[in-house]
Amino acid sequence: MIISCIVLFWIILILLWNRRREYFEKRGIEVGFPVIIWRRAISLKWAEKLQGSSRARRILDIGVALSIISAALFYYYTFTTLILRLRGVPASETGGFAPLIPGLTVTWSNVVYIVVGISIAVVIHELSHGLAAVAEGTRIKSAGLALFLAVPGAFVEIDEQEFSASTLRTKLRILGAGTAANFILALILLPLLFSAFTGSGVMVVEVKPDSPAYRAGIIPGSQVLVVNNTQIVSLGQLLEVLDSVKESGKPFTMKLRSPDGREYEVTIVMREGEKLIGVLLQFSIGPPFNMIPYPLGWELFMMTLWIFNINLGLALINAAPILILDGGRMLTETLQARLGSTGKSISYTIQILTLLLLLGSMYIPGI
């Protein structure tokens, strides 16, 4: 359904572009599958007070340091992953950077979280580049919004001539700002997620119609407390207990806590031929998300988790010295300023090797 809507949207848009191209171009809109760009001249005058600010420059220097730290974390993770692979550890156990491919590396149920997470990450990333450029006195030619297939984003176009004429420190400040912003956002969200993962117990997310759980009256959003006098503290334990009681073929009791805090008890009776009680389970989240009524609390937790993952992943990947990425440009500018054309050649060699390292550490389930 989602794919069909995206395909229909692009067919209609391309038809409109072919018929009303001049209309779109006058408004700064460019359409070229799979990307739509809306470009506007912009100056960010409201941020010009940052120019010459010693505080802004100190913050941007911290951003450069965070970019270097992100690159170091990238190398640590990819080297560790590759070494484990070479030692024969299966890719499914080592993990690794994975492209976000719905239906392959991520489930379709997570697509909304991913789109929102990418949109936030890209907007923050590009806005930070723009603010850094203004603070360093580099002109911004244009800025705008973009849509890649169905994923929204943003961009800031800096005057390349002014950028090229800038000092090395200014270049590093501008290039490192985007990565630093993503890294900082991930750090801000980390305590929230750490607290959320301290939750104990298991929650019933969904109850299948006409299942033993449905007939017993289990309420979606309930936390499982006890099964046949066994207190439940983890998902793995609950699955083991359920397997044991189901094998007996006898009815069993479950004590649960409903979303409104009320404790209740049900008796599960399995009919002949039934092998599952008919519930979708997940671990119970901790504060602050468990203070919000289900399912809103869970949705906010998942959104926060994806925003964290995407911003951290974008920070590490973008800080790595790889062709066209900020980390690659930072390395090239640094070595070229110190060693001239030789430094540029060394930078490209490092970037190619880093790209091979990234490809070697990637993990795509089923491939």
pLDDT of residue 275: 84
Question: Which residue has tokens 């309420």?
Answer: 219
pLDDT of residue 92: 67
pLDDT of residue 306: 95
Q: How far apart are the first and last CA of the chain?
A: 26
Hey, how many other C-beta atoms are within 10 angstroms of the C-beta on 239?
Answer: 12
Strand pairing partners for 280?
Answer: 206
For residue 322, give the nearest of 362, 367, 355 by alpha carbon.
355
Residues with Cβ within 8 Å of 246's Cβ and at least 6 positions away in sequence, in order, are: 270, 275, 277
pLDDT of residue 367: 47
Where b means 16+ CB within 10 Å and e means fewer, 192-221 reads bbeebeebebbbbeebeeebbbebbebbbb
Quick one: which H or E segment has residue 76? Answer: helix 54-86
pLDDT of residue 52: 77
- Mean pLDDT of residues grouped by 10 in the chain (367 residues)? 78 89 88 84 72 88 97 94 83 73 76 90 92 89 80 82 93 96 97 87 89 93 91 86 82 90 92 86 85 85 95 94 92 94 94 90 62
pLDDT of residue 365: 54
Q: In sequence order, what DSSP letters do the residues of 283-315 get, joined into one string?
A: EPP-TTGGGSPTTHHHHHHHHHHHHHHHHHHHH
pLDDT of residue 274: 84
pLDDT of residue 74: 95
pLDDT of residue 168: 95
pLDDT of residue 267: 93
- Write down the pTM of the prediction: 0.80
Question: Which residue has tokens 């010459």?
Answer: 52
| Euclidean distance between CA atoms 25 and 173, whole angstroms | 34
For residue 279, give the nearest of 314, 244, 238 by alpha carbon.
238
